[in-house]
Structure 1
């Protein structure tokens, strides 16, 4: 049984909630240089070895960045992880609902995880065990929130609700609010993710393909966008959004992410 350090949260305490994000890059030092310059992150070595690093924002661990094996020819993308109480049971639920468990469950020093894709192909991870830091501190300080672009937000909410135990009768579960054009996931009044309809898997525009989008709230969207371009990134879209100004960017490896002027 894994021992939990004082002040560190486990997945059991925040089950169903997003608890971490990762990026597998083709060139780890280049990715660190890009996100350090654009988002103000610092980096330290993770416990998984030289090919993985921990990103910190103002001292708070916010993300993991690792190096892809050179032989792997897969798209570079940001991936969110959701906390679960039992990774094997959750993986079984994913398969039972005609979705895919692509990798794992695998054992790591402080827990177990798996990588999956929902029925529309949006990739996400599940994690059981010790979180990188106290979840409340991560939720408060980490510059990240999530949006799922999917074919039907209400169908997706049912899938994820059954898999991740959203809106169940257990204390501490995440709440789901069905609105006119989106589904909102929250916990104790804090919005954790938004699910939006209208994605098309064959669309040439990556912004409307089924996927989990990582949003990083920043103080100045225009300045952040300019820094991304200076350091080898590119802009897919920039302008007003329902919750402020935002820009969707590609890093030099092609990983898509959004910066927004307001956290939600």
Structure 2
């Protein structure tokens, strides 16, 4: 998997979703058991934890003091799947939800208020789940992007159709200040924010018919120093291994959420 982990530019202090409109700005895990989930990711990814301001059902993961991810123990309460979800910055949560619904997407939750912002949990027209966030970002965008370190990839049946959907919902390639650029590169649709690759969409070879066997989903990738050590820790703490290679593995945590650990740090 490829990702551009270029060094932050001089202008790095991004505090509002308006500043990086359409870009991934957070990842969150819906869970049933917050305490067990916290122990699992502490063992596998070495994360530290602190309580979140939203209440006992929420936790914040830290890497060297920088917030990188959240746990929301609301899977049962909201009747949503246990899963990792990327959140995209938007200028208006209400407008983004309306545009998604107009284009065949669905709104599972929200928009609802989560001070210092508003959020909604959506699904695109092929069923891939994603979130949107309006307001102040949880962490400085550049620091979050480099500290996690995280990248995301949409596996879907038709990359071009998906790019059109997300582009219209999230204002990609709109030409507005802070909007993302979208290009087709190396067999994938590539999303850039401020010149940096922040997401990719793939569906197979150019011109190939959409693959009906693919279950569309956003896959969250965490870059780690030792993939094998993460695999061993996941198995010791109740997780499972779906695929494993020397430099990448797809894992499930003890609650069933899927994620990828990878050693790839650069294109």
TM over 0.5: yes
The alpha carbon displacement at 1:236 in A equals 0.4
- Paired residues of 2:24 and 2:86 also in contact (CA < 8 A): yes
- Paired residues of 2:242 and 2:252 also in contact (CA < 8 A): yes
- Distance, in Å, in 1 between the alignment partners of 2:181 and 2:202 is 16
- Paired residues of 1:23 and 1:79 also in contact (CA < 8 A): yes
| 1:113 maps onto 2:92 in alignment | no
> Please, which of 95, 109, 134 is the counterpart of residue 140 of structure 2?
134
- Distance, in Å, in 1 between the alignment partners of 2:186 and 2:109 is 35
- Distance, in Å, in 2 between the alignment partners of 1:64 and 1:180 is 32
| 1:165 maps onto 2:181 in alignment | no
| 1:184 maps onto 2:186 in alignment | no
Corresponding residue pairs, total? 249
- Distance, in Å, in 1 between the alignment partners of 2:196 and 2:148 is 14
> Please, which of 123, 127, 134 is the counterpart of residue 129 of structure 2?
123
1:263 matched residue in structure 2: 265
- Distance, in Å, in 1 between the alignment partners of 2:77 and 2:88 is 28
- Distance, in Å, in 2 between the alignment partners of 1:103 and 1:89 is 15
The one of the two structures with greater contact order (alpha-carbon pairs below 8 A, sep at least 6) is 2
The alpha carbon displacement at 1:141 in A equals 1.3
- Distance, in Å, in 1 between the alignment partners of 2:211 and 2:215 is 5
1:154 matched residue in structure 2: 160
TM-score (norm 2): 0.88
Check 1:139–1:69 CA distance in 2 against 1; reply closer, same or farther (3 A cut): closer
1:230 matched residue in structure 2: 236
- Paired residues of 1:19 and 1:83 also in contact (CA < 8 A): yes
2:56 matched residue in structure 1: 50
| 1:209 maps onto 2:215 in alignment | yes
2:45 matched residue in structure 1: 39
The alpha carbon displacement at 1:20 in A equals 0.6
The alpha carbon displacement at 1:172 in A equals 2.1
Q: What is the root-mean-square deviation of aligned Cα atoms in Å?
A: 1.7
TM-score (norm 1): 0.89
- Paired residues of 1:145 and 1:263 also in contact (CA < 8 A): no
Residue ranges of structure 1 left out of the alignment (5+ in a row): 1-6
1:250 matched residue in structure 2: 252
The alpha carbon displacement at 1:73 in A equals 5.5
- Paired residues of 2:18 and 2:89 also in contact (CA < 8 A): yes
- Paired residues of 1:247 and 1:258 also in contact (CA < 8 A): yes
Runs of 4+ with >3 A deviation: 69-74, 198-201
Check 1:171–1:32 CA distance in 2 against 1; reply closer, same or farther (3 A cut): same
- Paired residues of 2:44 and 2:230 also in contact (CA < 8 A): yes
1:3 matched residue in structure 2: none
Structure 1 residues 197-220: Cα deviation after superposition (integer angstroms, max 9, x where no partner): 05856x4xxxx4200000000011
1:99 matched residue in structure 2: 105
2:70 matched residue in structure 1: 64
- Distance, in Å, in 1 between the alignment partners of 2:15 and 2:123 is 26
Check 1:82–1:249 CA distance in 2 against 1; reply closer, same or farther (3 A cut): same
